[in-house]
Amino acid sequence: MIFVLLTYGGWNEAAYVSADLRNVRRGMVPALLWSLVIITAVYVLANMAFLKVLGLPGMSGSEHVAADLAGRLFGQNGARLLSLLICVSALGSINGSIVTGARTNLALGMDQPLFRALGQWREKAATPPNALIVQCAISLLLILFGACTRQGFVAMVEYTAPVFWGFFFLGALSLIVLRVKEPHAERPFPVPLYPFTPLLFCATCLYMLRASLAYTGRGALVGLVVLFCGLIFVLLDYLKVPHGGGSG
């Protein structure tokens, strides 16, 4: 389920660019709902095709299921064409991740004085240059980490899965916390069946967090160590510890 649910992931990143929508209330909810419906339908139909053509033994013994399906139906050229389409699709996903990831670093720089360099915005290009550079450096380090392991892609999933589900849990929990702390604030997206919906989501995330830790092992520990290193900077900012030169 770790890899299956990772496949369905990505639709939620549309929420990261909600600040750029002209009408957030009308535009974001349909975008998220329709993306869920379309992605689920496409993946279910694709897996039905895999089972129909390759069968369960053929799927479990294949490292490139989609290419093997195309090769079985359309020959070697069909397998090459589908592999090319997958590469093009990956480029689109990378582009979206670059945009949303840099905005996360930008927000960090704007909120935390310790990382104010990340909060710089270049008006002419409408981009956060320092945030993009830092994101590039982190990505290259992750690629190097994956290249040093026997199975690079699996290592990346092991590295990110616990952090992924942990932050999903924190995001849902923050909804409940803000409802308690700011009960009269205007909510652009009223949550249906509150508090049952976020509580159910939190429970699911905790289960997947535990499952990912039990399944991935060492790779998960590396990701968690990097995550908890961030607490040092949070504490430094909280305690207002002076940094840099000078006597203060």
pLDDT in tens, 82-115: 889 888 888 887 887 888 888 888 888 888 777 8
Written as one string, the DSSP assignment of 63-87 is: S-HHHHHHHHHHHHHHHHHHHHHHH
User: Helices then strands (H, E): number in the chain?
Assistant: 8, 0
pLDDT in tens, 133-167: 999 998 888 788 777 776 777 777 777 778 888 88
Percent composition of the chain: helix, strand, coil (DSSP 3-state, to 5): 80, 0, 20
Structure token pair of residue 242: 């002076």
Identify the CA nearest to 118 among candidates 127, 128, 126.
128
Supply the pLDDT for residue 247.
Answer: 43
Range 194-223 average pLDDT: 84
**Degrees (nearest 5) of the Cα angle 42, 44, 47?**
105
pTM flag (> 0.75):
no
Supply the pLDDT for residue 79.
Answer: 87
